[in-house]
Amino acid sequence: MPLLVMKFGGTSVADLARIENAAKKVQAEVERGYDVIVIVSAMSGKTNELVGWVEQTSKLYDAREYDAVVASGENVTAGLMALRLQEMGVPARSWQGWQVPINTTSAHGSARFIDIPRDNIDAKFAEGFKVAVVAGFQGLSAEGRITTLGRGGSDTTAVAFAAAFGAERCDIYTDVDGVYTTDPRVSPKARKLDKIAFEEMLELASLGAKVLQTRSVELAMRYKVRLRVLSSFDDSENNGTLVCDEEEIMESKVVSGVAFSRDEAKMTLVSVEDRPGVASAIFGPLAEAGVNVDMIVQNISEKNYGTHTGAVTDMTFSVPVNQVARAQKAMKDALDAGIVKYDELLTDTDVAKVSVVGIGMRSQVGVAAKMFAALAAENVNIKVIATSEIKISVLIDRKYMELAVQALHDAFELEKA
């Protein structure tokens, strides 16, 4: 029997009426001849409520108990979905992570999959059950404790099940009807894509697009799981975007999308010693402090000119704005410990990152020139540039972010199919 994985996010199961709507979509796939594994998130807002209860109860909470509390939201949804399907005449059974079992590492709050044995769910399908409703976002450690996978973990759960069970496709139901060339709230000309390659989706997700969780796309690309992103509230034929292998896309545009992230900060270490190992001395302490460094640029320091004879350099990098304090402390501690020497640390918390992404860049020249010309025409100054094979990212003043996104969307004519 062919098998589908269907994942429903928090807004898709926000109340009993929406759970019934989701159940009807599952029933329709069963009637088409599929066995279905349904992955559910907690009802919209429930996870935040549970996290709040934990933090109110214990400021320095035990991570194992945090996971035990926070995972309960998905358990409730799974049970309600199974009950709704049973009332509709669809043989369904709910599964918590430990019952499958979904085996994970013991990193509570950010666990990773080890394996998903098929035996228990396959046995239920063999008995005549048509739907297994699995609580997303959670698993079981080797110590027998409940673990959680971090925010967005239900997407990753869905892809992992699709890979483990060889599903024909993994459908991610959410509150948007697909992947767009950019956020329609920023550019009214944004166009929904029918298909997008794994690599492009991974870049867009990591650069700020919030349609899919980054880890889920990484997993889908590794195991060639065909993903479809679609809305729970749209039954039209044009609903959805297929995330697939590059070979499934006949002809790719040079640029497929424009991504952005408002919450960026630019940090510069001024007059760092220019010697072998200095980068390790800087970014090692930042990594140990849990700071997520993104763009990195090394510049010749002004002190290399004139009468100054010391070999020094300036090191500029970007971090999420909510990690600035942690980065500042890590660098001060490294300075005090003599790990690295610098004159001062400059921080700009009023920047944004804007990126263009497209697998067509591999075979086309002039993309960077076109991007920079479009920004220059709008008097947008570029602070930092970073490139890869299929993306170009820039840091700019945050006040120009929406203008930059619209200008780039127009320059690459992304509104055209």
Residues of the binding site for ATP? 7-10, 174-175, 180, 185, 210-211
Rounded-to-integer distance, Cα 219 and Cα 163, Å: 8
**339's tokens:** 């790990």
394 DSSP 8-state letter: E
CA 417 to chain centre: 25
Count of Cβ atoms closer than 10 Å to residue 33 Cβ:
9
Rounded-to-integer distance, Cα 160 and Cα 217, Å: 10
147 DSSP 8-state letter: E
Instruction: Using CA atoms of 113, 119, 122, 127 in order, give the dihedral in degrees to the nearest 10.
Output: -150
Q: Where are the alpha helices (DSSP H) in 150-254?
A: 153-165, 198-206, 214-223
- Element housing 71 (H / E): none
Dihedral sign computed on CA atoms, order 282, 284, 286, 287: positive
**93's tokens:** 């059974």
Q: Could you tell me the CA-to-CA distances from 79 to 75, 88, 93, 401, 412 in Å, in that order?
A: 6, 14, 8, 43, 47
Q: What are phi and psi of 58, to 5 degrees?
A: -150, 110
**33's tokens:** 């001849």
Cβ partners under 8 Å of residue 358, min gap 6: 200, 252, 253, 254, 255, 256, 257, 367, 390, 391
Rounded-to-integer distance, Cα 61 and Cα 394, Å: 39
* Binding site residue list for substrate: 47, 74
Dihedral sign computed on CA atoms, order 319, 325, 331, 337: negative
Rounded-to-integer distance, Cα 119 and Cα 126, Å: 10
Is the previous residue joined to 276 through a cis bond, with omega within 30 degrees of 0? Answer: no
* Binding site residue list: 7-10, 47, 74, 174-175, 180, 185, 210-211
Rounded-to-integer distance, Cα 341 and Cα 364, Å: 42
Rounded-to-integer distance, Cα 137 and Cα 143, Å: 18
- Cβ-contact 242, 194 below 8 angstroms: yes
- Cβ-contact 256, 243 below 8 angstroms: no
Tell me which amino acid residue 310 is: G
